[in-house]
Amino acid sequence: MNPALQQFVSVALPIMVTLIATIWIASWSQNKRFDDWTKRFEDLRSDLNRRFGEMDRRFGEMDRRFGELKSDMNGRFEDLRGDMNRRFIEVNVRLERIETKLDNHEERIVRVEERTSPVRR
């Protein structure tokens, strides 16, 4: 064998094979790492989407409950307002009756005073 060829095969070829193998392993390792990261990002993205979906569902439920509560409170306030208006009307009617009675009593008192007071000369 040619001494130059023998030197190439014994020295340079193992170095080149080692270099190529190292580059291939580094490339494969980097690709695997990128694949792992991609999988992690996809998992995080799907987890975030799931959580945001759950939050949307919960907020929808809260909106529905607040709507029911608002409707219920409005109904109660309307009932309360109606009761208060009815009671104010009742109080006004009573006050008018009392006023009428007071006027009648005042007239009677005036008549009694006119009858019992000495005649003015």
The string of pLDDT tens digits covering residues 64-108 is: 999 999 999 999 999 999 999 999 999 999 999 999 999 999 999
CA distance 102 to 95: 10
Q: Per-residue pLDDT averaged across 107-116, rounded?
A: 89
Q: Which long-range contacts (CB under 8 A, 24 or more apart) does 78-81 make?
A: none
Model confidence, pTM: 0.44
Sequence-ordered list of residues with C-beta below 8 angstroms from that of 1, at least 6 positions apart, any chain: 9
Whether residue 119 is predicted with pLDDT greater than 80 in this model: the reply is: no
Sequence-ordered list of residues with C-beta below 8 angstroms from that of 9, at least 6 positions apart, any chain: 1
The string of pLDDT tens digits covering residues 43-57 is: 999 999 999 999 999
